[in-house]
Amino acid sequence: MNILATYHPTDKDYGSMKIDEPKTPYNYSDCESEGDEVAEGLHHAGSGSVKSIGSGTDSDDDETHLTPEQIAHKREFEKKRKMHYNEGAALKAMKAQLEDEDME
């Protein structure tokens, strides 16, 4: 009898607590022309010319304001970068070298 009293007291109401929270603010649009504005904006965006972010020849343009030492350093860096990222050719060369050693 004691167990029933502790698990289900008569004066306790489990799970029916009311939580008072404000409603989530949402701005309802009464303007019906908003859809027309969006459609017009999409039409103009699709028909306009696309500007290129990078042209690929920026390295020549950037060298105009650099000193000769900076230009030499930049070209040396680009050469080293190309050699570093040319891993496919390096792997093929190593594979060919290993095959030559195995044949001997």
Domain limits, the chain: 63-102
Determine the Cα–Cα distance for residues 54 and 57; give it in Å rounded to an integer: 8
The highest-confidence range among 8-12, 38-42, 57-61, by mean pLDDT, is 38-42
Q: Is 29 helix (H, G, I), strand (E, B) or coil?
A: coil
Over range 40-63, report the average pLDDT.
Answer: 65
- Residue 64 to residue 60: CA distance in whole angstroms: 7
Looking at the chain, the whole-number percentage of residues with pLDDT higher than 70 is 63
State the pLDDT confidence band at 75, using cuts at 50, 70 and 90: very high
* In the predicted structure, residue 78 carries a pLDDT above the cut 70: yes
Structure tokens, 12: 């306790």
| CA–CA separation, 102 and 104 (whole Å) | 6
CA angle 71–73–75, rounded 5-degree value: 70
